[in-house]
Amino acid sequence: MQRLLIIVTLCLFSPVMASAELSLPNVFSDHMVLQREQAVSIWGTATPGSRVKANFKGRQKSTDTNTAGRWHVRISTGKADGQGATLTIQSGSQTVVIEDVLVGEVWLASGQSNMVFSMNRVPSYAEIIATSAYPQIRMFNAPNVTAVEPQDNIEGKWSTCSPATVPDYSAVAFFFARKLHQELEVPIGVIKSAWGGKPVETFTSRKALQTLPGTKALVEATLRADAAYDEVTAQTAYQRRLAKWKTVASERRTQPAAERKRLPRKPATPKRPLTTEGKPGVLFNSMIHPFIGFTIRGVIWYQGEANAKPGAVPYDQTLPLMIRDWRQRWNDDFSFYFVQLANFRAPSTKPGTPDLWALLQDRMRQILQTTPKTGMAVINDVGEAKDIHPKNKKDPGERLARWALAKDYGYDIVYSGPLYRSSEVKDGAIRVTFDQCGDGLRARDGGILNRFEISGDDRVWYWADANVDGTDGVLVSSARVPQPVAVRYAWAANPQGANLVNSENLPASIFRTDNWDDVEALPIPGG
């Protein structure tokens, strides 16, 4: 916690100018981690026109507050340091003391429920939790809140990684941080600000959303709904629905269990549209804006499930829009690494099955080609058919860390599963080449390669014969398609049997060589 020390001389017989309390956002608090080897931003409020001094490890910076009482300084942190230091902010007679401040690597973790998913939800992680005394790993857990306008602060505090705190940590963020800490041997700080079940548009500012036709329409619809919203009318309608629901519930309880129908969902308490958590820009205002400017190395992101739906603005437009929005506001082209959606729903058995889940996964892959300094953890080997929240969070977290180790920290490693590079039709077959092959491609189980599909101009898909061809290629063919034009791999919400991996046993991403977007209006299989 911040400690505010105030030394005041009271003049009981003469008027004095009222002073504002010296304060900083909650992200600047005990046990925090500051980004190493940078001039990090520190800011807050104090009396307008007053002098503010910051001191960290003997390094000092001073500034004056503006007419609104806001102040901002940048102070050098130096090399990584796991020994807790003190950050002191002073203005007039007031002093804020922030203790046990480490210097290392700082990342922001955001997204929806699979990023929220905590360590204590996986029974098999009990031993990991019990042995997770990592005093140099720290996490700031932001609460779920909404706001109509951009906020400058949010509740929350930093905690030190221990068996007592880890159960509530985001599992993906924990495994990401642990991997970096073990490899880099420096403190790692993670700011987790995520909310389950929410689309990418709610994490993006409405100003940015206005620049894309599809998302602009979403914003305008929300603004119209908000302008038309009347609390009294909404509450009256809610009470009417609730009374009807209670009547149905009471009647159902009197029926024999064998004859009892499923009870309808209880009506939700009405909310103003601009305070409803899934609406455009709402979570940006409340859960992202408070951290803008806090010096970070980059972002890890696990989201997309809420955007795999008919009529959604294509994800290879919306996620890059959010990335640009955040980078512009931070004034920093930081790294942005995301998790590709995992397997979900019943396995498909026929080639050429239209699938919105697969389409979104592939659009995620295409973001790597269009948006600089991005990376993607491929996890089509860890999903669960009946659970949108796969229990394996270790692989996603550590695969995100591979991207960071390679791209941000200079490690010479294979940092991804095989990624589609190009294709060429040759002698009645299509040769597909890949990046990130390591020492070569292979089938995970040592058998034949599965889940490759091939098509001619007629757009009829057939299961294909696929064989590794050289270090970085796969030759795909079918006797039923003598003149092939397109190939797809793992094209399904749950491509059971997909087994192409590299020498690090990392799975290949879904891909397609065609651009036949004929699945836009179709539901997710099993949905």
Give the 3-state secondary structure of residue 257: coil
- On whether both 239 and 151 belong to a single domain, the answer is no
Residue given tokens 């959010």 in the structure block: 322
Tell whether the model's pLDDT for residue 270 goes beyond 60: yes
* Chain segment 365-404, per-residue pLDDT in tens: 999 999 999 999 999 999 999 999 999 999 999 999 999 9
pLDDT digits (tens, 9 = 90+) for 78-93: 999 999 999 999 999 9
Report the percentage of the chain scoring pLDDT > 90: 91
- 325 part of a folded domain: no
Cβ-contact 312, 274 below 8 angstroms: no
Question: Is residue 503 in some structural domain?
Answer: yes
Query: Alpha helices of 298-377 — where are they, by DSSP H?
Result: 315-330, 356-370
Residue 228 shares a structural domain with residue 180: no
Contact 120, 259 (CB under 8 A): no
Confidence of residue 520 (pLDDT cuts 50, 70, 90): very low
Report whether pLDDT(525) > 90. Answer: no
Mean pLDDT of the chain: 94
Same domain, 13 and 107: yes
Least confident of 179-183, 421-425, 512-516: 512-516
The upper half-sphere exposure of residue 451, i.e. CA atoms within 13 Å in the direction of its Cβ, equals 25
Q: For residues 230 and 180, state if they share a domain.
A: no
Outline where 354-506 has alpha helix (H).
Answer: 356-370, 394-407
Read off the pLDDT of each residue in 421-430 and give the average, rounded to a whole number: 97
**Integer Cα distance of 365 and 316 in angstroms:** 9
Q: Is the dihedral of CA 435, 371, 355, 284 positive or negative?
A: positive
Confidence of residue 2 (pLDDT cuts 50, 70, 90): low
- Give me the pLDDT at residue 517, please: 67
Q: How do residues 12-25 score in pLDDT, each as one tens digit?
A: 333 334 578 999 99
Report how many helices (DSSP H) and strands (DSSP E) the chain contains, helices first.
Answer: 10, 24
Q: What is the mean pLDDT of residues 420-444?
A: 97
122 and 245 inside one domain: no
My answer on whether 72 and 167 are in the same domain is yes
Same-domain check for residues 188 and 225: no
Predicted local distance difference test score (pLDDT) of residue 18: 56
In whole angstroms, what is the distance from residue 343 CA to residue 49 CA?
A: 57
Q: Is residue 476 part of a domain?
A: yes
Residue 390: inside a domain: no
Tell me, yes or no, whether 34 and 88 share the same domain.
yes
| Structure confidence at residue 1 (pLDDT) | 57
Number of domains in the chain: 3
Rounded Cα–Cα distance for residues 418 and 378 (Å): 9
Looking at the domain assignment, is residue 245 inside a domain?
yes
Q: What is the mean pLDDT of residues 276-300?
A: 98
Q: Is residue 23 domain-resident?
A: yes
Look at residue 525 and tell me if it is in a domain.
Answer: no
Does 135 lie in the same domain as 51? yes
Tell me the chain's radius of gyration from C-alpha atoms.
26
CB 96 within 8 A of CB 23: yes
Residue 173: which CATH number? Answer: 2.60.40.10
pLDDT, tens only, 211-229: 999 999 999 999 999 999 9
CB neighbour burial string for 116-138, b if at least 16 within 10 angstroms, e if fewer? bbbbeebeebeebbeebebebbb
Rounded to whole angstroms, how far apart are CA atoms 170 and 173? 5
**Is residue 339 included in any domain, yes or no?**
no
Torsion sign, CA atoms 214, 217, 221, 226: positive
Residue 442 and residue 503 in contact, taking contact as beta carbons nearer than 8 Å: yes
Whether residue 235 sits in one domain with residue 167: no
Do 247 and 102 reside in the same domain of the chain? no
**Domain of residue 133, residue span:** 3-194
34 and 89 fall within a common domain: yes
